[in-house]
Every structure is written in C-alpha cells, then in structure tokens.
Amino acid sequence: MGDVQSITPKLCEDWYDAITSKQPDSIELGDREKEKFNHAFEFYLAGSYDNAYEGLADLSNQDSAVSQYYLGLMHLTGLGVLQDFTQAHMWLNIASSHGHKKARMHLDQLTQNMTAELIAEAQKQARRWVTKKAKEAVSSAIQKDESEFSIG
C-alpha cells in the first residue's frame, strides 16, 4: 500500500496556526515543521493514527507542546496506540510543563484516576525524557561550538 497523502479534503489551511491562536506552543515552529504538524493533524482527524503519531512524535521531540498534548490524548484514549495511562501522563505532563493549559486539565483529571505507583512511573519516564533532551541539546551546542572554532 502506498503513502496515503490525501485521505480527506483539507478542512483548514493551517491547523497549527488555528490551534496555537487559542493555545500558544512552547516553541515557534518553522514553515517546514508547521506543514508537518498540519499534515499529521489531517491524518489525526481522518483516523489515520499511525501516520499522525509519527509526525506528532517527531515534533514532540523538538519540544512542541501542542504535539506532546496530542500524543498524550492518543495514549489516553487509545487512538492508534494501546491505551496507556502512564504514557498519557508522561506526555501530558511534559506538555503541561511547557505551559499547555489543556494538557494540565487532562493531566489533573487523569491523575485522579491513577494509582500512586503509576503516577510515580509516569513522572520517572517524563524526567528521563526531559533529561535525555537536555543532554542532546548540550551535546549539539558543544558540537556546534567545536565546528565554529576548528582550525582547518
């Protein structure tokens, strides 16, 4: 089966701008990343969750709170993935830490229905993810500095 490009007609020219006009993102996506989000969101709305997840996961790794929020919702509801409250909590927690208000609301509701052990595991996973991202950022900055100052 080939790449599914046009599942439904575009309902909105720019989903990212429409969504972030009500809930700002934690980062400013460039045009290429906005297009990737728009594409992933079209897949999400069309029910092609595998394709949506792939695009949202990539943007989540770039610290897009909006993308992290939708990953959390997918895990919370089991859309395209196994329903996993620990993963849902992790992504909603990360999005919430970036200021996403709806993520905070869903996180608060989810936390009320989780055991202390599951919450602790979700928080541990979120810390691990944030720590990994911080190490990657430091490593990238060091490599950039080294390449700027190399003598060739």
- Residue by residue, pLDDT tens for the chain (152 residues) are 344 444 444 566 677 877 777 777 767 778 888 899 989 999 999 999 999 999 999 999 988 999 999 999 999 999 999 999 999 999 999 999 998 999 999 999 999 999 999 999 999 999 999 999 888 878 877 876 666 665 55
What global pTM score does this model have? 0.81
| Residue 6 confidence (pLDDT) | 43
pLDDT at 3: 42
pLDDT at 7: 43
Task: Give the pLDDT confidence score for residue 146 in this predicted structure.
Answer: 65
Predicted local confidence at residue 2, as pLDDT: 41
Within 27-115, where are the H helices? 31-46, 49-60, 65-77, 85-97, 101-112
At 84 the pLDDT is: 97
What's the pLDDT at 11?
Answer: 60
* Domain locations in the chain as residue ranges: 15-138
For position 19, what pLDDT does the model report? 79
Distance of CA 56 to CAs 36, 63, 117, 135, Å? Answer: 8, 10, 28, 21
What are 77-80's contacts with CB under 8 Å, separation 24+?
Answer: 79/44, 79/49, 80/49, 80/50, 80/52, 80/53
Determine contact, residues 44/67, Cβ cutoff 8 Å. Answer: no
13 neighbors 45 (Cβ within 8 angstroms): no
CB contact set of 96 (below 8 Å; sequence gap of 6+): 103, 104, 107
The CATH H-level (homologous superfamily) assignment of domain 15-138 is: Tetratricopeptide repeat domain (1.25.40.10)
